[in-house]
Structure 1
Amino acid sequence: MFNHPLLNPALHELLMRVRHTNTIVISDKGFPFWPEIETIDISLADDQPSVLDVLKVILPHFTVGKCWMAEEFNSWNNEETKKQFAAVLSDIPREFKDHDEFKKLVPKAIGLIRTGGTASYSNIILESA
């Protein structure tokens, strides 16, 4: 039996295709559908799983060079939520962009992972190192 913390086969297969400077998107439950990129929907219910849950599982096995989030994340979320994201993304350089500018980066990704996340503007784009 496969003994790895990432059990979702579609998600595992997507991550195995990521190469240097490729990007993937991890989105909250309300993020728009992008027909031009592969979408893996792992949402079950509100915050099941959350964007943070997915990050905690994949980051130990995925080398990230940098990431992008929407500027609105900082103004729409409380200090505890911002602190939790900062802890998980601790050593990863983050760039904040206006949400409309953030969404312009999405079609360049090789895949989008949709979660049940409810934290406002918690969508993140990860670029492989």
Structure 2
Amino acid sequence: MIKTGILNPQLNSLLSRVRHTNTLVIADRGFPFWPGLETVDLSLVDDVPRVVDVLRAIQMNWVVGRIWMAEEFRHHNTASALAAITSMTSPIPICWESHVDFKKRVPSAIGLIRTGDTTQYANMILESA
């Protein structure tokens, strides 16, 4: 029995298949469904878990080399929400781009993790280092 770390077997399986430079999406509760893309749905209720909760758990055993986020996150959320993201991800670079360009990257990801996050544009694409 797993005693520490990520306990969800579907999420463990997905993470173990991500290789160097592969990408993985962590999405909020309203992110569109992507046919053909493996989705691990962790959503429980509003804001449980949040994107940052999943990122924190993943970072314990997974090396993130780069992160993409929608530029709109910076314009639709508070300065404290932005500070929470940037402090948590530092020194990993965040590549800010329009949400339209962000979504063009999604089909090439290994999988998608859906959260209960209600924060606007909180979605992230992580590239494995």
| 4+ long deviations beyond 3 Å | none
Q: CA-to-partner distance for each residue in 1:29-84, whole Å, 9 max, x for gaps?
A: 00000012101111001000000110111112111110100000000000111111
TM-score (norm 1): 0.97
Given that 2:29 and 2:118 are in contact with CA atoms closer than 8 Å, whether structure 1 keeps it comes out as: yes
Secondary structure class of the residue paired with 2:113: strand
The question of 1:51 aligning with 2:51 is answered yes
Identity among equivalent positions (%) equals: 54
- The residue type paired with residue 48 of structure 1 is V
- The residue type paired with residue 44 of structure 2 is L
Given that 2:77 and 2:120 are in contact with CA atoms closer than 8 Å, whether structure 1 keeps it comes out as: yes
1:23 corresponds in structure 2 to 23
The question of 1:8 aligning with 2:8 is answered yes
CA RMSD, 1 decimal: 0.7
1:64 corresponds in structure 2 to 64
Aligned length: 129
What are structure 1's unaligned runs of at least 5 residues?
A: none
Secondary structure class of the residue paired with 2:96: strand
Shift of 1:4: 2.3
Secondary structure class of the residue paired with 1:40: strand
The within-5 A match list for 1:1-129 is: 1-129=1-129
TM-score (norm 2): 0.97
